């Protein structure tokens, strides 16, 4: 069937964001398609049970299809839902949660709310990392093409703040004028690798320029020129990354300009942002997410809470304003240092940061007979370890808030939790990443069986 051109009608969107249709009773997945589309599709791969095809012609558009606002949409790997109107994106995100939880966990009896929309569906990212490369003699920047390391040169990315585009454009111009050698992934030679930008709600910016060289004088000159050109830049670092890995920032991050941190205000509390620490990418949605998690627990004054996978302790700190005590567990040392500083800034006396893996530290905490009433889990994509699920259910920890950016690992964990006595009460999907297929959910479990 490979290389065949076929006509199909797209029936639905599946988890992962691709459209699904049928040809001769066989499933065909089509990226960037919308249910209702009638398409000519070129089959690019064919397996026993399914094929994958790319659109060669839209015969009839779904009523929910729109013209993507970004000119690079067809090439760039950053967004894959921009061809769908926003209400449809939200509806499918809810639908995908329902489908994944139903099919992988066989859980159907819980409240599933409508996806909470993002106020801004463009320019919403507070952090962007762009690769810098070279095409012939031109310096280029942007996200990668899907499933490649080929940069899509884009000076006008519409999911990042307009000022980020301006800063990156200026960096490329200055790098060209000053003959800075651009890093080449294949030979691992050259200097300028990546640019990372972070911005807070009041428009203050942190700039990090990543270089592949220990001697960074030229890069520093470039960085200083950029800092002097944009008054919004309040903090600047040079990150030295000599590795061949995909990890963007190096271990050595040298502060060269302005403040060491920028700060964000969430629900009246102040959180610092440093180059290496995790911070939710859509600030307004993060604020809503934290409020929802908070609203899930009653009678907080009398409760001891664990914020597991805590990052810089934002959720824990918000809970600590009311709860009896909060333990915040996080693997990354820098993030823990930031969390400790957040505790000081916000004058919290009832919160403790524990540096280490949740897999060890949570078990240790529980083994030491510390009373815990609520655990908030916000793990990375792979979800929870089975030992954690065993331990908390053996101890019958009464309430769990589980925040997840991956419905399929969430569903696997939800199934185990429910087998061990928990009930999934509700799921609130929230759109942290408009125009992409990414889904974030906030769920609540209660221990109900003896
Ligand atoms: C999705 S982020 C959540 C951060 C935080 N809740 C927030 O909203 O800012 C996941 C965090 O888990 C941390 N992490 C990853 N694996 C971990 C582990 N095994 N134990 C503890 N923390 C871990 C990461 O460093 C990251 O900060």
- pLDDT at 446 (0 to 100): 98
Number of structural domains the chain divides into:
3
Do residues 302 and 258 both lie within one domain?
no
- Residue 39: which CATH number? 2.40.50.140
Do residues 61 and 100 both lie within one domain?
no
Task: Identify whether 405 is a catalytic site residue.
Answer: yes
Of ligand 1's listed atoms, the one at least distance from the Cα of 357 is: 20
Do residues 225 and 305 both lie within one domain?
no
Of ligand 1's listed atoms, the one at least distance from the Cα of 279 is: 9
Q: Which of 70, 76, 236, 405 is catalytic?
A: 405
Do residues 343 and 260 both lie within one domain?
no
- pLDDT at 410 (0 to 100): 98
CA distance 208 to 250: 11
Using the predicted structure, report yes or no on whether residue 436 has a pLDDT greater than 90: yes
Among 265, 290, 316, the domain-final residue is 265
- Residue 306: which CATH number? 3.40.50.150
Residue 272 included in any domain: no
Instruction: Render pLDDT for 78-131 as a digit per residue (tens, 0 to 9).
Output: 999 999 999 999 999 999 999 999 999 999 999 999 999 999 999 999 999 999
Residue 165 included in any domain: yes
Instruction: Render pLDDT for 332-354 as a digit per residue (tens, 0 to 9).
Output: 998 999 999 999 999 999 999 99
The mean of the pLDDT values for the chain is 95
Instruction: Render pLDDT for 226-262 as a digit per residue (tens, 0 to 9).
Output: 999 999 999 999 999 999 888 999 999 999 999 999 9
Residue 314 included in any domain: yes
- pLDDT at 244 (0 to 100): 86
Residue among 310, 382, 386, 401 whose CB has most ligand 1 atoms within 8 A, to mutate:
310
Do residues 419 and 293 both lie within one domain?
yes
Residue 276 included in any domain: no
Range of the domain at 47: 5-65
Among 239, 265, 291, the domain-final residue is 265
**What is the model's pTM?**
0.94
Residue 369 included in any domain: yes
**Banded pLDDT at 450 (limits 50, 70, 90):** low
Using the predicted structure, report yes or no on whether residue 156 has a pLDDT greater than 90: yes
Among 265, 294, 314, the domain-final residue is 265
Looking only at the bridges linking them, the beta strands covering 440-447 and 422-430 are: antiparallel
CA distance 137 to 442: 47
Quote the ligand 1 centre to 101 CA distance (angstroms).
23
Do residues 115 and 153 both lie within one domain?
no
Residue 316 included in any domain: yes
- pLDDT at 278 (0 to 100): 87
- pLDDT at 1 (0 to 100): 66
Residue 70 included in any domain: no
Residue 252 included in any domain: yes
Do residues 442 and 301 both lie within one domain?
yes
Do residues 139 and 247 both lie within one domain?
yes
């Amino acid at each position: 069937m490979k290389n065949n051109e076929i006509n199909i009608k797209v029936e639905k969107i599946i988890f992962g964001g691709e459209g699904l249709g049928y040809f001769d009773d066989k499933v065909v997945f089509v990226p960037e398609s919308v249910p209702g589309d009638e398409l000519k599709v070129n089959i690019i791969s064919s397996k026993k049970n399914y094929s994958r095809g790319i659109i060669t012609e839209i015969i009839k558009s779904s009523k929910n299809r729109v013209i993507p606002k970004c000119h690079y949409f067809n090439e760039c790997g950053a967004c894959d839902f921009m061809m769908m109107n926003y209400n449809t994106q939200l509806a499918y995100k809810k639908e995908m949660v329902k489908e994944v939880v139903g099919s992988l966990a066989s859980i159907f009896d819980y409240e599933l709310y409508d996806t909470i929309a993002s106020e801004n569906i463009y320019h919403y990212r507070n952090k962007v990392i762009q690769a810098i490369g070279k095409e012939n003699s031109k310096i280029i920047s942007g996200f990668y093409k899907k499933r490649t390391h080929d940069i899509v040169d884009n000076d006008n990315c519409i999911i990042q703040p307009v000022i980020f585009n301006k800063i990156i454009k200026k960096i490329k111009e200055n790098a060209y004028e000053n003959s800075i050698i651009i890093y080449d992934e294949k030979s691992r030679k050259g200097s300028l690798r990546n640019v990372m930008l972070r911005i807070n709600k009041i428009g203050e910016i942190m700039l990090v320029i990543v270089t592949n060289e220990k001697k960074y004088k030229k890069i520093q000159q470039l960085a200083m020129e950029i800092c002097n050109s944009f008054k919004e830049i309040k903090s600047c670092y040079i990150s030295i990354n000599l590795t061949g890995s995909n990890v963007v920032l190096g271990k050595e991050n040298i502060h060269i300009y302005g403040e060491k941190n920028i700060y964000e205000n969430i629900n009246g509390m102040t959180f610092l942002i440093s180059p290496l620490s995790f911070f939710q990418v859509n600030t307004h949605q993060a604020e809503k997410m934290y409020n929802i998690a908070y609203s899930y627990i009653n009678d907080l004054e009398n409760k001891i809470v664990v914020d597991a996978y805590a990052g810089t302790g934002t959720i824990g700190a918000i809970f600590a304003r009311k709860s009896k005590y909060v333990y915040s567990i996080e693997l990354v040392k820098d993030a823990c240092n930031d969390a400790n500083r957040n505790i000081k800034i916000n004058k919290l006396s009832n919160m403790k940061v524990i540096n280490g893996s949740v897999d060890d530290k949570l078990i240790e905490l529980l083994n030491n007979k510390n009373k815990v009433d609520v655990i908030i889990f916000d793990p990375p994509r792979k979800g929870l370890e089975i030992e954690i699920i065993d331990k908390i259910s053996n101890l019958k920890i009464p309430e769990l808030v589980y925040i997840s950016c991956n419905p399929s690992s969430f569903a696997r964990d939800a199934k185990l939790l429910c087998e061990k006595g928990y009930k999934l009460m509700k799921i609130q999907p929230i759109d942290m990443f408009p125009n992409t297929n990414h889904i974030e959910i906030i769920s609540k479990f209660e221990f109900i069986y003896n």
